[in-house]
Homo-oligomer: A and B are copies of this chain.
Amino acid sequence: MEKTYSIKEVADYFKLPISTIRYYDKKGLLPFVSKNEAGYRVFSESDFGFIKTICCLKNTGMPIKDIQTYIELCMQGTRTIDQRKEMLQQHKQNVVQKQQLLAESLQEINTKIERYDSKDSQTIISAQIKFVKDEKRDLHLKDPFI
């Protein structure tokens, strides 16, 4: 016999607070979850697959409303495959763009860390401060350094 799972077991597995799972359910992200006679949520193995997808979309920044739309399409069977594909392709573009921005910004952070880490850091930063101070003075603007 296959096992069923409580909300706590699911929460522990996905490292999500129970309150978040209930919130997702309220927002229509978990239409596949049943309830028992007492009104308790009862999860099956296959629900874990859906929830993994939800986490994946959430982790990549898809808004709750859009995840809800996607899941709803999933519940409508094979006839929504094209719509789902289009949603994911659009979302993928966003994610790739996010990745690029992240990579570029990380690049900059690394450059700064290297500068701070170099043996000439004092000299380099001093020169930068002097540059700013000179520019501000030339423009009759206040010196921003304390």
A residues with a Cβ closer than 8 A to B are 1-2, 4, 31-34, 42, 44-46, 52-53, 56-57, 59-60, 75-78, 81-82, 84-85, 88-89, 91-92, 95-96, 98-99, 101-103, 105-106, 108-110, 112-113, 116-117, 121-122, 125-126, 129, 131-132, 135-136, 138-139, 141-142, 144-146
Contact = CB atoms under 8 A, between A and B. Distances in A.
A125 B82 CA distance: 12
Given A108-B56, A144-B31, A146-B75, A116 B102 contact: no
B129 A78 contact: yes
Contact of A139 (B2, B101, B102): B2
A52 B105 CA distance: 10
A144 B81 contact: no
Given A56-B108, A113-B85, A78 B144 contact: no
| Interface of chain A: mostly helix, strand, loop or mixed | helix
Given A76-B146, A141-B44, A96 B106 contact: yes
A35 to B, nearest CB: 9
A34 to B, nearest CB: 4
A49 B70 CA distance: 41
A2 B134 CA distance: 11
A41 to B, nearest CB: 11
Contacts of A32: 132, 144
